[in-house]
Chains A and B, each alone.
Chain A
Amino acid sequence: DQQVKQNSPSLSVQEGRISILNCDYTNSMFDYFLWYKKYPAEGPTFLISISSIKDKNEDGRFTVFLNKTATHLSLHIVPSQPGDSAVYFCAASGNTGNQFYFGTGTSLTVIP
Chain B
Amino acid sequence: EPEVTQTPSHQVTQMGQEVILRCVPISNHLYFYWYRQILGQKVEFLVSFYNNEISEKSEIFDDRFSVERPDGSNFTLKIRSTKLEDSAMYFCASSDGSVSDTQYFGPGTRLTVL
A-B interaction: no
